[in-house]
Amino acid sequence: VRTLVPALLAALLTAAPTLARPDTPGAIIARAPNSDWQAVDPNDLLVIDMARGRVVIQLAPGFAPVHVANIRALARAHWYDGLSIERVQDDYVVQWGDPGGRKVLPKTVVQPAPAEYERAAAGLKLEVLPWRDTFADVAGFSGGWPVAESLGKAWLTHCYSMVGAGRDNNPDTGTGAELYAVIGHAPRPLDRNIAVVGRVLGGMDLLSALPRGGGELGVYSRVQLIPIRRVRLAADLPAAERPAYEVLRTDSDTFRAWYQLKANRQDSFFLHPAGAIDVCSILPPLRSHNPPPLAPSPAKR
Amino acid sequence: VRTLVPALLAALLTAAPTLARPDTPGAIIARAPNSDWQAVDPNDLLVIDMARGRVVIQLAPGFAPVHVANIRALARAHWYDGLSIERVQDDYVVQWGDPGGRKVLPKTVVQPAPAEYERAAAGLKLEVLPWRDTFADVAGFSGGWPVAESLGKAWLTHCYSMVGAGRDNNPDTGTGAELYAVIGHAPRPLDRNIAVVGRVLGGMDLLSALPRGGGELGVYSRVQLIPIRRVRLAADLPAAERPAYEVLRTDSDTFRAWYQLKANRQDSFFLHPAGAIDVCSILPPLRSHNPPPLAPSPAKR
């Protein structure tokens, strides 16, 4: 239940007779059978440890296979270790990588050609939302991912918490060495112009609350840079440090019932059920087991 | 220019011949004549001073007149002084007010009846966007405000930075004593269910970067509460402390050219202009003169 005076609402709900209590999105998720949950492959989980906590990103090899291969190679080469969060622009993105752009990439890391901004819609099983999308013919979900589709092409949508590969001006297509996460209203005009490579599953609240950068476009000054201590694939971490995530299957009846109720809320707070919901308001729910991140560094940060 | 590798892009743009440089949204705004800017009435500017800085909110008397009258009365009674930011929920809202809900309201402050969740569309001059809205028949702007309209009713949309009046469960309609600002993807299903009373014009980056609350729904524990020192209408502040804002007129050719270009970016970073833009991605640009807020308190916060 997501309302604005939670204590009082909780009291009211508790006081109401059980039979009169309307269904809620949270209750639907709580009832989901285990078979509706899909474990994320630990080779698709990128784990970023910083002094202030851990960020975990699910990679999207079905949409950006070359970028994801690059990101896995960079993590396995420990290439990201010691880089920085370098930009936080309000209502837009947090970005991290090599602020000077001078760190040499491993030879195996290449720019994708063609660019991975979109893919063929053919072969994607899409759960199509029955409501209008402003930017595409249809929007929906495929394999847990938010997708828009027009004229035979499909692409991941730039929703809050989605991760993309920074790039220089066209014709640069990026490599995955610079990454950003969306921390504001969905900047959908970036769709089909940058490769979306994943979604933040854990630590989003850490990224979104970072101080906004004082420079143009939110770029951090040298003293603002926030060091990244270690970036690994979950598959390469010792078992005791390895996070595990499950994403609700977007082809399940549970997911369909959940987003229909998000569009048509029945609890008494809502007088005018919206009758619709947009793709970026219903990223699939998660379950996680996230062990404590790296022990705090003895060095003062 | 909002791109992901600003330094390099700036270099490229600087290097390009002037004649080949495509128009940009920022350049359109820079060319706007003074007559396209509308000064905000200082009686419509709510100024919130905290130890960490200042937040300035434009009130919307055309949409929530009773709430706005309440908010003005509460500010003039100094009722808000000493209250707290009490809730920060990621990708949703920051909320402030009286955490215990025990502070007695002035007798003139009453709940609006009927509720101010929507108004008659008749009498509103709406600049209608030519693209589909997921939640309403049409969306657009009126008098600087983002508006959706269906079946003769119009309402302010819950976009990033919009401010609403917290309320308890239906049939409570709120008073303006509890306020919240949107800090995530537009939660449009709140539209028509809560009164939207304004928009944050200044200090949004301060609100959005607050630590997320550890409690259910982002509620702050007692030790997390962030004190609000002083809340006044700009009209009641001494001239030296009074902020001034101008909002681009949404019935101007400049605004129309600006949002059309935001929907169809021409600069070379963009390979696939979106061909559309949603109402929450194009809140009208601002100009401001914001003097330094209150001197830092000698007391340790």
What pLDDT digit, counting tens, does each position of B187-246 carry?
999 999 999 999 999 999 999 999 999 999 999 999 999 999 999 999 999 999 999 999
Residue of B nearest to A213 (CA): B205
Determine phi and psi for B196, rounding to 5 degrees.
-85, 130
* pLDDT at position A289: 84
| Cβ distance of A2 and B205 shorter than 8 Å | no
* pLDDT at position A296: 52
Q: Is B241 helix (H, G, I), strand (E, B) or coil?
A: helix
* pLDDT at position B12: 45
Tokens read off for A16: 């109401």
**Interchain contact A269–B (C-beta under 8 A):** yes
Question: B40: distance to nearest CA of chain A, Å?
Answer: 23
Tokens read off for A73: 């190679």
Q: Is B167 helix (H, G, I), strand (E, B) or coil?
A: coil
* pLDDT at position A85: 98
Complex ipTM > 0.85:
yes
**Interchain contact B135–A (C-beta under 8 A):** yes
Determine phi and psi for B133, rounding to 5 degrees.
-105, 140
Q: Is B118 helix (H, G, I), strand (E, B) or coil?
A: coil
- Asked if the peptide bond before residue A171 counts as cis, ω within 30 degrees of 0, the response is yes
The β-bridge relationship of strands A119-120 and A127-128 is unpaired
Q: How far apart are CA B157 and CA B136, in angstroms?
A: 10
Q: Which residues contact A281 (CB under 8 A, 6 or more apart)?
A: A262, B185, B187, B188, B189
> What pTM, to 2 d.p., does this model score?
0.92
State yes or no: pLDDT of A291 exceeds 90. Answer: no
Question: B26: distance to nearest CA of chain A, Å?
Answer: 12
Mutation pick from B133, B134, B162 vs chain A, by most beta carbons of A within 10 Å, is B134
Tell me the average pLDDT of chain B: 92
The overall longest dimension of chain B from CA atoms, in Å, is 65
| Cβ distance of B170 and A269 shorter than 8 Å | yes
Other beta carbons within 10 Å of B253: 12
Residues of B in contact with A204 (CB under 8 A): 90-91
Residue of A nearest to B130 (CA): A134
Q: Is B216 helix (H, G, I), strand (E, B) or coil?
A: helix
B200's enclosing H/E stretch is strand B196-202
Tokens read off for B294: 């209150």
Strands (E), A9-166: 37-39, 45-50, 53-59, 84-88, 93-97, 119-120, 127-128, 138-142, 145-150, 153-156, 162-165
**Interchain contact A146–B (C-beta under 8 A):** no
